[in-house]
Amino acid sequence: MPATSPEQLHRLFEEAFNAGDLDALLALYEPDAALIPEPGVVVHGVDQIGPALKGFLDVGGKMKLDTKKVVIVGDLAYLMNRWSLTATNDDGSPLEMGAVTAEVARRQADGSWLYVIDNAVGDLAAGD
């Protein structure tokens, strides 16, 4: 199901992640999109985005996205969400991850929206 609004990308991402559906996650990105999965790392294109997202999926657990901001200008949208991932480490201890994102999406010719840039770690992307 394609996103019919920029903010719907967040709901679809959350659903696909929690279902462990890598193909559905990749369907939310333009073919040459960029993803910043961790500070100091940028991957380009779905061929590189796939393994980066699979790393998060392999952690397991449940992801929650909370949309904080959407600004649309023509066929571009700037989005922010606060995501959290709760899981269990191999030793049984709790694992919690999260950040506030900075994302850019583009309206496609069919009216749907796809990620162009997904900075999953927001201001932490610059690293040290």
For residue range 53-106, list pLDDT tens digits in order: 998 898 888 999 999 999 999 999 999 999 999 988 888 888 898 899 999 999
- Interacting residues of 13 by C-beta distance below 8 A, sequence separation 6+: 25, 28, 63, 65
Which of 42-46, 108-112, 123-127 shows the lowest per-residue confidence on average (mean pLDDT)? 123-127
Q: Classify burial at 86, counting beta carbons within 10 Å of its beta carbon; exposed 0-12, middle 13-18, buried 19 or more.
A: middle
pLDDT digits (tens, 9 = 90+) for 18-28: 999 999 999 99
pLDDT of residue 18: 96
For the chain, domain boundaries: 8-121
Any idea what the Cα angle at residue 89 is, between residues 91 and 119, rounded to 5°? 160
Q: What is the reported pTM?
A: 0.92
For domain 8-121, the CATH class is alpha beta
Judge residue 27's burial from the number of C-beta atoms within 10 Å of its C-beta, 0-12 exposed, 13-18 middle, 19 or more buried: middle
